[in-house]
Amino acid sequence: MIFKLLVLGDYGTGKTTLFNQLLQSVPEAQKKPSIKLELIEFIRNIEGKEITVNVFDIPGRELSSENRSKHYQNTVGAIVLFDIARPDTFRHAPFWLEELMNYNGIGKVPILLVGNKSDLRESSQRTLNPIDAQEYVFRLNRTTRVDGVENIYHELSAKTGRGLPLIIDELLKAIIKHQDILASK
């Protein structure tokens, strides 16, 4: 099974940092030559299934929405980032989810919402209350449960990447579940 994943979110939220962190912290992850977007590939064994994961990094503001729409095709899940010190980037998360659903050709798919830059919690004045993000994902899950789509929220620091492989596995499990439901229809 090959899963295509995108890293999405406003500019400067840490997408490329997280993408590069995948290379460091996920065993066997390697960069692959790719013409358009940066691509990382790795294999995970989840619940007896071997999953080849392709992760693409999308620049937040360089692409027009028309150009972006092409990249969403066949995306089975996404990592959507916001910056906990920039609440506006959290308010934009639904925008990325909608774009993904509108253009991937599948509809709703599991996402991992990441409240990034957790290391700024101590030093920054205006940080987002994690409960707001948890409630958002809770509401999202209530409205998508019928499709077997389960979304996940984690706060982390893409700079340190602590816990990233386990968090990615959580997303992969949600995608496997969703793909199984789609296949059984």
Ligand X SMILES: Nc1nc2c(ncn2[C@@H]2O[C@H](COP(=O)(O)OP(=O)(O)OP(=O)(O)O)[C@@H](O)[C@H]2O)c(=O)[nH]1
Between 60 and 110, whose beta carbon lies closer to ligand X? 60
Residue 11 binds to ligand X (criterion: CB under 6 A): yes
Residue 116 binds to ligand X (criterion: CB under 6 A): yes
Residue 75 binds to ligand X (criterion: CB under 6 A): no
Residue 16 binds to Mg ion (criterion: CB under 5 A): yes
Sign of the alpha-carbon dihedral angle for 86, 40, 48, 174: positive
Among 15, 71, 86, 154, binds ligand X (CB under 6 A): 15
DSSP states of 3-65 = EEEEEEESTTSSHHHHHHHHHHHSTT-EEE--SSSEEEEEEEEETTEEEEEEEEE--TTTS-H
The pairing of beta strand 2-9 with beta strand 77-83: parallel
Between 8 and 29, whose beta carbon lies closer to Mg ion? 8
Stretches 16-24, 79-87, 118-126, 164-172: which one binds Mg ion (CB under 5 A)? 16-24
Spatial CA neighbour of 111 closest among 86, 71, 144, 67: 144
- In the block, residue with structure tokens 């209530």: 142
Among 38, 41, 119, 155, binds ligand X (CB under 6 A): 119
Between 26 and 51, whose beta carbon lies closer to ligand X? 26
Exposed, middle or buried, 12 (CB in 10 Å: 0-12/13-18/19+)? middle
Stretches 42-50, 88-96, 107-115, 155-163: which one binds ligand X (CB under 6 A)? 155-163
Rule CB under 6 A: which of 36-55 touch ligand X? none
Between 13 and 104, whose beta carbon lies closer to ligand X? 13
Among 4, 60, 71, 112, binds ligand X (CB under 6 A): 60
Q: What's the distance, CA 156 to chain centroid?
A: 13
117 contact, one of Mg ion, ligand X, none, CB 5-8 Å limit per kind: ligand X
